[in-house]
Amino acid sequence: MRKRAVLGGLLIAGVVAAAAFGWLGGGRSSDQIDPDQIKLGTRLYAERCASCHGAKLEGQPNWQEPLSDGRMPAPPHDASGHTWHHSDAELFTITKKGLGAFVPGYRSDMPAFEGTLSDEEIRAIIAFIRSTWPRTEREYQRARSTARS
């Protein structure tokens, strides 16, 4: 009896491990980093985003408090902010169309980059931002991105 239970336990452990390795393996291939894309994203981030979101992605001071005009300061894009809570598709749309794309009529200091950055350039900037996150945030955000697309 006990022997069978132990064998059963081992079997379950094996299935769980196989599933976990399969998932990690699959994840790794879709998380591949293209160095040229990151290089482009790093440069464009410095040129187009850093003035508000910070050279180190740290955001503006007191970013959770509204400014005197009622608008919000620029949040950090590093792991201390909430950028990693959004899927790739959401980050792409926010950058291209602005936050008004999600909340019509919303007044925000975040510019829409449609017409000044190509889709490829926006993807490169997001790839750069993603590459700065620790593993836990990257995995959370990847799961959200694949669930939504």
Task: Say how far apart CA 2 and CA 5 lie, in whole Å.
Answer: 5
- CB atoms near residue 125 (< 10 Å): 27
Amino acid at 43: R
List the structure tokens of 123: 């993807």
**Residues 75, 78, 128, 141: which binds ligand HEC (CB under 6 A)?**
75
By CB under 6 A, tell whether 98 contacts ligand HEC: no
By CB under 6 A, tell whether 40 contacts ligand HEC: no
Q: Please report how close the Cβ of residue 149 comes to ligand HEC at its closest, in angstroms.
A: 17
**Residues 41, 54, 78, 81: which binds ligand HEC (CB under 6 A)?**
81
By CB under 6 A, tell whether 109 contacts ligand HEC: yes
- Under rule CB under 6 A, which residues in 115-134 are in contact with ligand HEC? 125
By CB under 6 A, tell whether 99 contacts ligand HEC: yes
- CB atoms near residue 148 (< 10 Å): 11
Give the list of residues 6+ apart from residue 80 with CB closer than 8 angstroms, or none: 58, 59
Torsion 86-92-94-100 (CA) sign: negative
**Residues 40, 41, 54, 74: which binds ligand HEC (CB under 6 A)?**
74
CA-nearest of 116, 31, 133 to 80 is 133
By CB under 6 A, tell whether 37 contacts ligand HEC: no
By CB under 6 A, tell whether 51 contacts ligand HEC: yes
Give the list of residues 6+ apart from residue 83 with CB closer than 8 angstroms, or none: 75, 76, 77, 91, 129
By CB under 6 A, tell whether 80 contacts ligand HEC: no
Residues that bind ligand HEC (CB under 6 A): 48-49, 51-53, 71-75, 81-83, 86, 91, 94-95, 99, 108-111, 113, 125
